[in-house]
Chains A and B, each alone.
Chain A
């Protein structure tokens, strides 16, 4: 089955930068369509189906089989000469910075402070993102869809946006949909996750949701159905009382309403009954969009530059098989998109959208100033995906990292490693061997590629330095 969307291959590839049909011109010596199977040996990929989870492979023995993608390993052969052209960033870093970075890579993390510089092969996407952030800074929100197959670096791009947005003075939250815990058909759970991860920087210090609401005490939000009474209550809250924590948890979307408002509860928050409940209905999309746009408005009023919501694994919407859940999920996501787009139709109660049954509100509160970025694997045959993709006008399609970008990444990694451990040396031949092995083994994206390289260098170094016994590091 061939993909019809923008000439992109449907195949979900098991290797970093290993697209079957890479948009980059083929490099000499590379045979990207070759795979290896533990039983049938090497073969050539002829086709893919089920979103790339199965591949049709013709083996050298002549056998032709459909196989689960995870059962085969991509055999990518890189041109040996390519490494010579690798350029290295971070030329000016000192040893401590290098150590910090290498230790983070061992933990599978690109440190926040380095995420911008440690982004490779994404110049075009970074340009688009920077323009979107600039627009938000001027008060104009938008919704973006970042699309790419597994391992193309969607999460890394979201982290990049997260970092840029925080640095630019925006209130930012990065969260991930999950079919069990943070499903889009349960807006309250999404709200809770957003609030939990909400961050902003002011005066060189990091703050969170509670700080934002405390700062908002001076603002007039009396016309906001939820935040109005919450802020009123906050202004009267006695900081010494133990029930405050219950109140905060309630406002943050934890299920503590019973404790917070039940008359018999010893944690009861006086006046809590006058605050509308954070509805747990799957129809409450309007309510939560309204609150989130309120938060965006607060951010602007406090001199921050708007609200950036980054949502990873948005394809979770396509995992909902119950048609009612699916409808409500799509409604919520559509609501978020239209809120970010400041769609005039949802500034009032729109009969075309689903609303909570208790206290319907417009999806948008005043001027929202919200940038929404979803990251998803493309799924052009899924109804949920099509609905959302059609609604979002701005798209960023991520191709697997081009070979040149991987080489740059590796060269930078090598330089960083050697800066961290000045006495350590590794031959060019060993570097090439490690690079090839990292490319071939990586099926979880750039993160695992980096981790593989660093661990490979660690093994080589500890063996050379006598820190590890022979038996510990031999292949």
Chain B
């Protein structure tokens, strides 16, 4: 791996323990059975046949949900799927307001990209996908009339307004009409545009509560129509999206989720796969009333044992003992560290990894972020070993490293939450 990229990964992991958006495979452990199922049975299996699926991802804070979602994203890119990674939150993107969820989806839509290096920020959002569509169409046929004919033959999506908007954006870009393109992209992003522009492009709908599902379906249909295998939705931090004030809002959010699951079950979102990550399924399903019961029936696994094909993917049960998992992870991180800083770490690294892993599991197992804690502490230990090759990381030192890391991450989390809530 490129040294600078390795350094960037180590830097991100060492600071917060949260995974970077690229190079995720270099330190992936234990997810193979799940990823193999996602790849073989869904991305290569049923989705190309216009079927759809929904998976609930559960795992504690720092338990690898984001890591898993990024891994799925990379797999999806490799198989020519567009991806929308959406971090849900109660103010900008709560699940009870699908029109806002739609906005977040189109803002984060990404066409397949290389996964071993950071993607430029402008390679995200529906605008970039439309631009890429135009560029690729031009490569295939550069005569304007041919391109326009192809555009005419493009299947119409469920929402004619959506169809008209994407076609209009394509034509505007071909005609180098920057203003028109910008207005249409604005509408596709769910924002209001001038009436005359709507009239010009025959856009009669708005993206609102009542049309959000239709727009979502139309987005999926369009992605298909322009040559991608499908669209993978990754909803992260869903617990934040659910932490909404009134019970009515929560019911609405759950109702939307139920509808999404039902639409997948009824294959009404062809080629789409949804991943919805939440620390604990009980955050979602513990309640009384019809909507809770309906969701429970859909999303709860029947067996207590892990089923990699099941509707629920539990990242706490990877089939590897926790210490074994952390040792494997630490070994991969050490290799990454060595690639980042050149040269080899002293042999002490193996003992450090082992001790840190055992201590993290025994003393911090009940800390919900013990995996994240281990990652940050291990990288800190590697830095020390690199600076002072004679350093010995014994049990006491490992405990100290983990404790200090725990306090630091706890403080950072608190600041983040307080900063967002007020």
Q: Is B195 an interface residue, CB under 8 A from the partner?
A: yes
Contact B319 A472 (CB under 8 A): yes
Q: Is A257 an interface residue, CB under 8 A from the partner?
A: no
Question: How far, in angstroms, from A447 to B302 measured CA to CA in the complex?
Answer: 11
Contact A104 B265 (CB under 8 A): yes
Q: Is A47 an interface residue, CB under 8 A from the partner?
A: no
| Contacts A103-B265, A107-B298, A109-B265; A181 near B251 (Cβ below 8 A) | yes
Contact B302 A448 (CB under 8 A): yes
Contacts of B81 in A (CB 8 A): none
Contact B210 A245 (CB under 8 A): yes
Contact B192 A106 (CB under 8 A): no
Choice from B33, B210, B301 contacting A248 with Cβ under 8 Å: B210
Choice from B37, B204, B266, B305 contacting A459 with Cβ under 8 Å: B305
| Contacts A106-B310, A455-B310, A475-B305; A467 near B210 (Cβ below 8 A) | no
Shortest CB distance B273–A (Å): 10
Contacts of B123 in A (CB 8 A): none
Interface residues in B, total, Cβ within 8 A = 47
Question: How far, in angstroms, from A441 to B195 measured CA to CA in the complex?
Answer: 59
| Contacts A242-B192, A245-B210; A444 near B297 (Cβ below 8 A) | yes
Contact A111 B265 (CB under 8 A): yes
Contacts of B49 in A (CB 8 A): 96, 99-100
Contact B37 A462 (CB under 8 A): yes
Task: Give a binary string over A239-251; 1 marks a CB under 8 Å from any B CB, 0 the rest.
Answer: 1101001001100
Contact A472 B265 (CB under 8 A): no
Question: How far, in angstroms, from A178 to B195 measured CA to CA in the complex?
Answer: 42
| Contacts A455-B303, A471-B319; A103 near B33 (Cβ below 8 A) | no
Task: Give a binary string over B18-50; 1 marks a CB under 8 Å from any A CB, 0 the rest.
Answer: 000000000000000100110010000110010
Question: How far, in angstroms, from A470 to B321 measured CA to CA in the complex?
Answer: 13
| Contacts A100-B267, A111-B265, A113-B266; A472 near B305 (Cβ below 8 A) | yes
Interface centre among B195, B306, B320 (most CB of A within 10 A): B306
Contact B319 A109 (CB under 8 A): no
- Which residue on B lies nearest to A420, using beta carbons? B46
Question: How far, in angstroms, from A447 to B294 measured CA to CA in the complex?
Answer: 11
Interface centre among A99, A103, A240 (most CB of B within 10 A): A103
Shortest CB distance A97–B (Å): 10
Contact B310 A458 (CB under 8 A): yes
| Contacts A245-B208, A248-B210; A459 near B303 (Cβ below 8 A) | yes
Contact B290 A176 (CB under 8 A): yes
Task: Give a binary string over B299-320; 1 marks a CB under 8 Å from any A CB, 0 the rest.
Answer: 1011101111111000001111
Choice from A181, A451, A458, A462 contacting B248 with Cβ under 8 Å: A181
Contacts of B320 in A (CB 8 A): 469, 471
Contacts of B208 in A (CB 8 A): 245
Contact B46 A99 (CB under 8 A): yes
Task: Give a binary string over A172-183; 1 marks a CB under 8 Å from any B CB, 0 the rest.
Answer: 000010111110
Interface residues of A in 105-149 (CB under 8 A from B): 106-109, 111-113
Question: How far, in angstroms, from A472 to B303 measured CA to CA in the complex?
Answer: 11
Interface residues of A in 159-191 (CB under 8 A from B): 176, 178-182
Question: How far, in angstroms, from A85 to B46 measured CA to CA in the complex?
Answer: 32
- Which residue on A lies nearest to B208, using beta carbons? A245
- Which residue on B lies nearest to A180, using beta carbons? B289
Contact A103 B310 (CB under 8 A): no
Choice from B46, B51, B261, B308 contacting A109 with Cβ under 8 Å: B261
Contact A455 B51 (CB under 8 A): no
Q: Residues on B close to A: CB < 8 A?
A: 33, 36-37, 40, 45-46, 49, 51-54, 192, 195, 198, 204, 206, 208-210, 247-248, 251, 261-262, 264-267, 289-290, 297-299, 301-303, 305-311, 317-320
Q: A99-B46, A178-B289, A451-B302 given. 17 additional CB < 8 A pairs?
A: A99-B49, A100-B267, A106-B310, A107-B53, A107-B265, A108-B297, A111-B267, A112-B266, A242-B192, A248-B210, A441-B302, A456-B302, A456-B303, A462-B309, A467-B36, A468-B307, A472-B318
Smallest CB-CB A-B distances: 7 pairs: A109-B265, A472-B319, A469-B319, A104-B265, A108-B298, A458-B309, A107-B265
Enumerate 8 A-B pairs (CB-CB under 8 Å) in ascending A order. Answer: A108-B265, A245-B210, A455-B301, A459-B303, A459-B305, A467-B37, A469-B320, A472-B33
